[in-house]
Structure 1
């Protein structure tokens, strides 16, 4: 399947006749790769949290701040414009799937708002500005723990459904 590289560096699925192509192996691979990239960022954020308050790697803070919003928004855009519409129109459609997708959309909104606040805090940390270290540590841990739970939920409730559908 052809695709374009988006601003996050991940390959977006192509479209045919204005409709999202079903998540074939390439799209599922894309989602697995997106999850790995998000989890790698979570690991970086955890290292920043563990370094507080005295061993802060300012360069890591700036890198994480610059990567956070584009990665999160890019993955959410893919899921909400390609994957979720396909799931809603597919044989996997059910009231449980609809509830699951609504939950994930809500979490996306929360994660994006939280990512914006966290980006500001990381940029301050990276520049050496005064910040409340306890609050920043709390923000970091809340974000990466929530994102890890979100990914685990997607793997359990979305990817397992797709995998079982493709093998059926």
Structure 2
């Protein structure tokens, strides 16, 4: 894999915290849909929820499992309680991932038909998912992110930022979403950023990291 530009002021933990805040907003949206049942179904909210459930949520789990959690395991002692916490969170990712697929399918069907055939079941699925997500996010915010801020080195943070920029959902704290989405490569956006030290070769944003 060719190296991406090295950010001199990386803040991947801040980006993860921002994604957690957005996921909490998703939970509020799902709760609003559930509260309307069985008498009403907000199709517009369902369409928004589906787009998030199919996109940013799986990408966030991949970032944690493939990039954040491994480097955290390398930075703490073998007997550190964080190891057990990360294992538990990965199990929750697997469970919630299965719930996510079922919930997404149910919301898509209801939105396409503009009808909820079984509002009690959909309400149960919605509440089960957002209740679980709220606990999961709160646990990561209270336990994982504080440890990450304590133990990760500048090199670790730059590496995480590089992973994010080389992923299919690049983002950073120094550039606007519009600028990043309009760019064709990490070089084209990072060359304009005073916080980046470009490498000679850069993967396009849609390259597999």
Partners of 1:117 and 1:151 lie apart in 2 by 20
- Hey, what does 2:147 align to over in structure 1? 161
Q: 2:39 aligns with which of 50, 54, 67?
A: 54
- Hey, what does 1:135 align to over in structure 2? 121
Q: Would you say the 8 A contact 1:92–1:165 is kept in 2? A: no
Partners of 2:10 and 2:79 lie apart in 1 by 22
- Hey, what does 1:70 align to over in structure 2? 55
Partners of 1:39 and 1:93 lie apart in 2 by 32
Partners of 2:48 and 2:29 lie apart in 1 by 9
Kindly indicate whether residue 99 of structure 2 is the aligned counterpart of residue 114 of structure 1: yes
Question: Alignment length, in residue pairs?
Answer: 147
Scaled by the length of structure 1, the TM-score of the pair is 0.79
Partners of 1:152 and 1:71 lie apart in 2 by 18
Q: Would you say the 8 A contact 2:41–2:115 is kept in 1? A: no
Q: 1:11-30 alignment to 2 at 5 Å?
A: 26-30=11-15
Q: 2:131 aligns with which of 145, 163, 166?
A: 145
Scaled by the length of structure 2, the TM-score of the pair is 0.64
Higher gyration radius (CA)? 2
Structure ranking higher on relative contact order (CA contacts 8 Å, 6+ apart): 2
Measure how far apart 1:37 and its partner are.
Answer: 1.3
Gaps of 5+ in 2: 153-209
Runs ≥4 residues deviating over 2 A: 91-95, 162-166
Gaps of 5+ in 1: 1-14
Q: Would you say the 8 A contact 2:41–2:116 is kept in 1? A: no
Q: Give the superposed CA RMSD.
A: 2.2
